[in-house]
Amino acid sequence: MISLNWVKDYVDIASEDLKELAVKITKAGVNVEEVITKHIDHLVIGKVLRCTDHPNSDHLHLCQVDVGTRTVQIVCGASNVREGIKVIVALPGCVLPGNFEIKAGKIRGEESNGMICALFELGVEEKTEETYAKGIEEVDSPLEPGEDANIYLGTDDTIYELDVHKHRNNDCYYHIGFAYEIASILNKKVTLPEDSFKSIKENVKNHITLEVKTPKCPYYTCKMVSDVKIQESPEFMKKRLIAAGMRPINNVVDISNYVMLEYGQPLHFFDKDKLGDQILVRDAKEGEEITTLDGQKRILKSSDIVITDGKKPVCIAGVMGGENTEVDENTKNILIESAIFDAVSIRYTASNLNLKSEASIRYGKGLNYEYTDAALNRACHLLEKYAGAKVLSGVVKHDNVDKTLKKVKFQTKEINTLLGIILTDEDVKTELTRLDFPYEEKKGIFTVTIPRRRLDIDPNINDIAEEIGRLYGYHNLVSTLPKVPTRRGVYVGDVGMRKTISKRLRSLGLNETKNYTLISPEMASHFQYDKKEAVVLPNPMSLDKAVVRTSLLPSLLNVYEYNRARHVEDILLYEIAKTYNKNYEEESKVAILMEGNYLINRWQGKSIPCDFYCMKGIVENLLDYLGFKNRYTFEKATLPDMHPGMSAIIKLDRETIGILGRVHPSYKKEEIYVAELSMQKMYEKQVKPIKFKEASKYPEIKKDLAFAVKKETEADEIIGHIKKAGGKLLTDIDVFDVYVGENVADDEKSIAFSLTFKDPNRTLSDEEVTQVFEKIIAEVEGKMTAKLRNK
Amino acid sequence: MKELESILAELTQKVKTATDSNELNAIRVEYLGKKGSISLLTAKIGELPQEEKKTFGAALNQVKNQAMELLEEKRKEMEEKALNEKLSQENIDVTLPGTMIPSGAPNILEKIIEEVEEVFMSMGYDVVDGPEIEEDKYNFELLNIPKGHPARDAQDTFYIEDEKILLRSQTSPVQARTMLAAGGNTPIRMICPGKTYRRDADDATHSHQFMQIEGLLVDKDISLSDLKGTFDVIAKRLFGEDVETRFRPSYYQFTEPSVETDISCFVCKGSGCPLCKHTGWITVSGAGMVHPNVLRNCGYDPKVWSGFAFGFGAERLAMLKYGIHDIRTFYQTDLRESSTFDRKDV
């Protein structure tokens, strides 16, 4: 939160419309999320020069009021209005709370050019009988007629609520930094605040010794003040702290916060008498304890930094001070610490201790040592001025900070190429001046020095282009297309296969789902058919999202349950997603779930239900579409969470690529069929290109036959023998009947096949087909327990 | 000859009054059968004198043909009548519902991703995929987000092994991998839609799992204006030819300069409505010129090469385009909702 009244101290914005300024700032890259103001326009201080009774009323008055530039007549009904008092005048055009607009007009025939206001009319007080009875506000203030009455009311400030990106969170998080941003937008200069003070003879070095024993504190400075008087802060300081979101406490505490909000540099004040005469900055010892200002006992880690008095911790560096050296109402002497600590370390400590303070946030962003010094001096100045402090001479300092300035060399054309705009050297100079970035220019080569306050800028041409570009305005960019060769992009790797499968399954009537990769341990315990160990998050957000799934089936079952609970019938789902095992090996999988009817016409009583063979048909259709026709088989298998008699593994080129079957009735009682295939394994297989096959010109011969076999015999076994004996002439085998019952033994079933014989080059004779046919019968009967039926 | 005429007249009359195919058959036999009256006349030709034979024969033939035609005509007429009578009994109710052919709907995010892919593929961008369990190196370090950088905190990453292995918090690592694989000397045009993960509690506007569509172009002399032009193409294709675009300065670690890209509100056309929060503009993506450190980290010399990168949130695009208000919609397939998306969009 930025107080614009405060910013006014550093950059001239008196003539700016602050709402428009907010838009300009946002356009240049720092997002002003909200402009908060209670300011009422056209509200001025007036002085009642004359007050007479209204000729047509028994209670109204006619007032001649000096409003600075002129004297106006105003009709006023308040009983306390009288000559000589200062009042608040709402002039025509003023809009009071409640959207009440003041207009010039006549009241009972007399001209009235405004309104003399009571506080409740301005929204400053609530309207009660009491405030109403008070009448108009009698202003007791040195403010002159015509001056802004908002100053008197304390409603003259405007607050910007910023939503700043991480980078600019550094320099736009304090008022001076933000003033620089405004100055660059408005092309103005920044004036830094007063920081002078009188030093007394006594030197701080006689009172404190400093030792820094950690590389995580590159810069540590101290000054000392004596004889402070703790009291309330001046009004302006309290107002500004409140505006910026902080609570005023007393002058000393407030000054440390005030300076932090000016320079972005947190300060820490030690009660010097409690501290002693030594400061040692070091890494904390594991388990070391300190009670912080908020009364909490904190246990530290060795990664934390502590300020100690040589023996015990007195402050968790950059995060919070210790209770043992706290400034209180009796404090007389203060040691002011202004330092830089390792930003990463502070963030870790603040987060470990769950102690995010205004100070730790700022330390965590990084600081610039110039402002560490400036803030120290500014604090001395303010303590002298508002706490009666005497400032000891000298500074105690540890300085191991890298002071190399960042410089960038570039030519204007490089900026132009990067942005796609046309700037001249002069334009660049103008922009750099606005930014207040010192530069040299020799023969078209610029050398820019990046000011230390802009920690976010790295010495790259891109960074300079960005600074120039955002001030130049991206709305000025023209649209061009990259000058690159024309081509059409492709799907790289297995992306194409994923798209192909997805589109095929959709056209087969399955609905695509997208589910969470992270699932609960309970879900992850199901369908572990490929026996993969899963990645378990060491630090999950919640137990239901703790495991990286190895199978998509548990997620599909969730979607099924969700839809079933909402009375959706005929649920056909699929998902394609990546899965991982414990070694982070990736495997993309395709999962399908079907329940209900695949095709249905209810009023005709016709349907094709989702059963094992429907699901198998979907899988076969997909595999054929992918080019794997005649390369896959299904083998019965016992699989976890699957029906023991209705499940199979799917093999492609003799390698298992997935599973298929009914979900175990004890797990889900509904008749749900699922399949899951490894896209990875399918992707690794070679597929031959499509080749045209001419339909045979010669007639084909169809012959049917049926075998009686044991009930447990699988069709594939018979087909295998038929194929073997059938040779080249046998071109197609189709199962057209499976029969159990009359005329078949109790432990047997009959399977009927339709065989197609064909030769692409000639007409087959009956004799040769019969010969092959006989051979097939002999093969099947000879090699397995099977008997030809209806012989 | 007169005999012939009267036979024809008689036959014509009989055919006309015939009512079924049996009757018609009887007529055929009566005149054209072996012993039919016309056949019998044929036998008589031999008895005629030579000079009459020809004319009589021709006339007889004509009568015979006419007779056959008449019979055939009548037969067809009868068949047609019979068929019509049969069909008139076969009347169905065309308003009864058709057989339900299952409709396979895409996931809404996939639908929007396919649309974006199509636009970029037509501009020469390849579609690339990458691992979701990723190394810190690709997810952060190569992308100019070193260990300890505050940008890491904001992403609230799911770490699997501390500061080493994680669920990717962005799809940018695919860009890094693509650049490294390209070896620093070939131009790149790619997009990489995919799942990403951050430690956000799920609610209507937050999801611990979400999808990004990031893209990258690396070539020579590429400018921010080129990014603007490219963004124009995708914005107009997704949200209509009349949308306007604008860039605002922004900050990302792997791009410099960085921008936020807005489109003019396609609902209110810029006059202000709840969707655009009365600003007339909607932010749809973040983008920028690839940071020289990233180019360098991934093997490209920033003095020679430049490029731009952009990132859309698939959920945000879909929510805007289809008026969806709850991000969980995408991850909890409700078939009653998703069936709407089983159609070609305009």
Compare CB distances from A571 to B122, B245, B335 and report the shortest one's residue.
Answer: B335
| A467 shares a domain with A524 | no
Nearest chain B residue to A492 by CA distance is B128
| B202 shares a domain with B73 | no
Q: Give the tens place of pLDDT for each residue, A529-538.
A: 999 999 999 9
| B242 shares a domain with B311 | yes
| B62 shares a domain with B125 | no
Domain region containing A776: 701-788
Distance, CA of A502 to CA of B114 (rounded, Å):
11
Q: What is the CATH number of the domain that holds B258?
A: 3.30.930.10
Nearest chain A residue to B154 by CA distance is A166
**Sign of the CA dihedral A294, A300, A304, A305?**
positive
Query: What's the distance, CA B141 to chain centroid?
Result: 40
Q: How confident is the model at residue B43 (pLDDT cuts 50, 70, 90)?
A: confident
Contact A563 B335 (CB under 8 A): yes
**ipTM exceeds 0.90, yes or no:** no
CB B162 within 8 A of CB A577: no
Taking contacts as CB-CB distances below 8 angstroms, the residues of chain B near A418 are 223-224, 257, 289, 306
Side chain identity at residue A199, one-letter code: S
CB A408 within 8 A of CB A463: yes
| A374 shares a domain with A226 | yes
State what percent of residues in chain B have pLDDT above 90. Answer: 62
CA dist A560 → A594, A616, B156, B334 (Å): 9, 19, 32, 9
Contact A541 B201 (CB under 8 A): yes
Q: For residue A759, is pLDDT > 60?
A: yes
Q: For residue A791, is pLDDT > 60?
A: no
What is the pLDDT, as a whole number, of residue A690?
Answer: 94
Q: What is the largest CA-CA distance in chain A?
A: 136
Side chain identity at residue A573, one-letter code: L
What is the pLDDT, as a whole number, of residue A590?
Answer: 98
On whether residue A193 sits in a domain, the answer given is: no
On whether residue B210 sits in a domain, the answer given is: yes
| B128 shares a domain with B16 | no
On whether residue B227 sits in a domain, the answer given is: yes
Contact A488 B331 (CB under 8 A): no
What is the pLDDT, as a whole number, of residue B150?
Answer: 74
Contact A482 B222 (CB under 8 A): yes
Distance, CA of A703 to CA of A723 (rounded, Å):
14
Compare CB distances from A364 to B131, B150, B223 and report the shortest one's residue.
Answer: B150
CB A461 within 8 A of CB A408: yes
On whether residue B266 sits in a domain, the answer given is: yes
The contacts of residue B226 (CB under 8 Å, 6+ apart) are A420, A480, A481, A482, B217, B308
On whether residue A194 sits in a domain, the answer given is: no
Least confident of A314-318, A492-496, A568-572, A690-694: A690-694
On whether residue A488 sits in a domain, the answer given is: no
| A411 shares a domain with A395 | no
| A515 shares a domain with A657 | yes
What is the pLDDT, as a whole number, of residue A235?
Answer: 85
| Per-window interface: B 151-190 vs A, CB < 8 A | 151, 153-154, 158-162, 165, 167, 187, 189-190
Side chain identity at residue A318, one-letter code: G
| B31 shares a domain with B149 | no
Taking contacts as CB-CB distances below 8 angstroms, the residues of chain A near B209 are 516-518
| B148 shares a domain with B118 | yes
Q: For residue A166, is pLDDT > 80?
A: no
| B129 shares a domain with B61 | no
Taking contacts as CB-CB distances below 8 angstroms, the residues of chain A near B332 are 559, 562
Structure-model confidence comparison of residues A131 and B255, the more confident one: B255
| Per-window interface: A 135-174 vs B, CB < 8 A | 165-168
Name A61's bridge partners: A53, A76
The whole-chain average pLDDT of chain A stands at 93
Q: For residue B87, is pLDDT > 60?
A: yes
Q: Give the tens place of pLDDT for each residue, A190-202.
A: 999 999 999 999 9
Contact B133 A580 (CB under 8 A): yes
Distance, CA of B227 to CA of B237 (rounded, Å):
16
| Per-window interface: B 305-344 vs A, CB < 8 A | 306, 330-336, 338-339, 342
Distance, CA of A334 to CA of A105 (rounded, Å):
62
Interface check B98 vs A, CB under 8 A: yes
Q: For residue B155, is pLDDT > 70?
A: no
Least confident of A136-145, A205-214, A479-488, B269-278: B269-278
Contact B121 A460 (CB under 8 A): no
The DSSP letter of residue A438 is: -
Interface check A599 vs B, CB under 8 A: yes
Contact A418 B104 (CB under 8 A): no
Nearest-Cα distance to chain A for B338, in Å, is 8
Least confident of A113-117, A493-497, A511-515, B248-252: B248-252
What is the pLDDT, as a whole number, of residue A203?
Answer: 96
| A612 shares a domain with A575 | yes
Pairing of β A297-299 and β A267-271: unpaired
Distance, CA of B293 to CA of B302 (rounded, Å):
8
On whether residue A247 sits in a domain, the answer given is: yes
Secondary structure class of A736 (helix, strand, coil): strand
A141-156 average pLDDT score: 87
Least confident of A7-11, A258-262, A296-300, B336-340: B336-340
Query: What's the distance, CA B187 to chain centroid?
Result: 31
Q: B137-156 burial by CB neighbour count: b if 16+ within 10 A, else e? A: ebbbbbbbbeeebbbbeebe
| A577 shares a domain with A508 | yes
| A149 shares a domain with A270 | no
Interface check B145 vs A, CB under 8 A: no
Q: How confident is the model at residue A760 (pLDDT cuts 50, 70, 90)?
A: confident
| B314 shares a domain with B219 | yes
| A707 shares a domain with A644 | no
On whether residue B194 sits in a domain, the answer given is: yes
Taking contacts as CB-CB distances below 8 angstroms, the residues of chain A near B97 are 601-603
How many domains is chain B partitioned into structurally?
2
| A514 shares a domain with A464 | no
Q: What is the CATH number of the domain that holds A446?
A: 3.30.56.10
Say if residue A485 is preceded by a cis peptide, omega within 30 of 0.
no
The contacts of residue B262 (CB under 8 Å, 6+ apart) are B245, B246, B247, B248, B281, B282, B283, B284
Domain boundary among B35, B59, B89: B89
| A434 shares a domain with A362 | no
Q: How confident is the model at residue B200 (pLDDT cuts 50, 70, 90)?
A: very high
Closest CA to A257 of A359, A355, A381: A359
Nearest chain B residue to A584 by CA distance is B133
**Residue indicated by tokens 């300024």:** A21
Taking contacts as CB-CB distances below 8 angstroms, the residues of chain A near B107 are 512-514
CB A555 within 8 A of CB A515: yes
Distance, CA of A242 to CA of B230 (rounded, Å):
46
Domain boundary among A684, A711, A736: A684
Contact A580 B132 (CB under 8 A): yes
| B320 shares a domain with B239 | yes
Secondary structure class of A350 (helix, strand, coil): helix
Residue A200 C-beta-side C-alpha neighbours within 13 Å: 16
Closest CA to A329 of A379, A261, A387, A256: A387
| Per-window interface: B 195-234 vs A, CB < 8 A | 195, 197, 199, 201, 208-209, 217, 219, 221-226, 228-230, 232-233
Taking contacts as CB-CB distances below 8 angstroms, the residues of chain A near B229 are 479-482
Interface check A311 vs B, CB under 8 A: no
The contacts of residue A696 (CB under 8 Å, 6+ apart) are A758, A759, A760
Distance, CA of A65 to CA of A47 (rounded, Å):
5
On whether residue B234 sits in a domain, the answer given is: yes
On whether residue B323 sits in a domain, the answer given is: yes
| B175 shares a domain with B235 | yes
Question: Which helix H or strand E contains B51, and what residues bound it?
Answer: helix B50-89
On whether residue A690 sits in a domain, the answer given is: no
What is the pLDDT, as a whole number, of residue A416?
Answer: 94
For testing contact with chain B, the best of A501, A504, A517, A606 (most B CBs within 10 A): A517
| B311 shares a domain with B202 | yes
What is the pLDDT, as a whole number, of residue B166?
Answer: 96
Please provide the DSSP assignment of A242-288 as one string.
HHTT-----HHHHHHHHHHHHHS--EEEEEHHHH-SEEEEEEPPTT-
Side chain identity at residue A569, one-letter code: E
On whether residue A521 sits in a domain, the answer given is: yes
Nearest chain A residue to B144 by CA distance is A458
On whether residue B95 sits in a domain, the answer given is: no
Secondary structure class of A16 (helix, strand, coil): coil
Interface check A98 vs B, CB under 8 A: no
How many domains is chain A partitioned into structurally?
6
Taking contacts as CB-CB distances below 8 angstroms, the residues of chain A near B162 are 538
On whether residue A349 sits in a domain, the answer given is: yes
Domain boundary among B23, B57, B89: B89
CA dist B125 → B132, B192, B217, B291 (Å): 21, 10, 8, 20
Domain boundary among A371, A399, A427: A399
Q: What is the CATH number of the domain that holds A705?
A: 3.30.70.380
Domain boundary among A655, A684, A713: A684
What is the pLDDT, as a whole number, of residue A249?
Answer: 92
What is the pLDDT, as a whole number, of residue B49?
Answer: 83
Q: What is the CATH number of the domain that holds A220?
A: 3.50.40.10
Q: Give the tens place of pLDDT for each residue, B299-335.
A: 999 999 999 999 999 999 999 999 999 999 999 999 9
Name A448's bridge partners: A408, A439
3-state helix, strand, coil in chain B (%, to 5): 45, 20, 35
Q: Give the tens place of pLDDT for each residue, A202-250.
A: 999 999 999 999 999 999 999 999 999 999 999 899 989 988 888 899 9
Compare CB distances from B219 to A417, A469, A482 and report the shortest one's residue.
Answer: A482
On whether residue A674 sits in a domain, the answer given is: yes
What is the pLDDT, as a whole number, of residue B108?
Answer: 95
Nearest chain A residue to B258 by CA distance is A466
| Per-window interface: A 670-699 vs B, CB < 8 A | none
CB B124 within 8 A of CB A485: yes
Taking contacts as CB-CB distances below 8 angstroms, the residues of chain A near B175 are none
Compare CB distances from A484 to B124, B131, B249 and report the shortest one's residue.
Answer: B124
Domain region containing B74: 2-89
| A422 shares a domain with A366 | no
Nearest-Cα distance to chain B for A487, in Å, is 5
Task: Number of A to B CB contacts under 8 A, please give it.
Answer: 267
| B327 shares a domain with B227 | yes
On whether residue B100 sits in a domain, the answer given is: no
Distance, CA of A155 to CA of A5 (rounded, Å):
11
| Per-window interface: A 1-30 vs B, CB < 8 A | 26-29
Q: What is the CATH number of the domain that holds A524?
A: 3.30.930.10
| A238 shares a domain with A123 | no
Q: Report, in angstroms and rounded to the nearest whole number, the Rg of chain B calculated over CA atoms.
A: 42
Distance, CA of A237 to CA of A254 (rounded, Å):
8
Interface check A364 vs B, CB under 8 A: yes
Contact B233 A485 (CB under 8 A): no
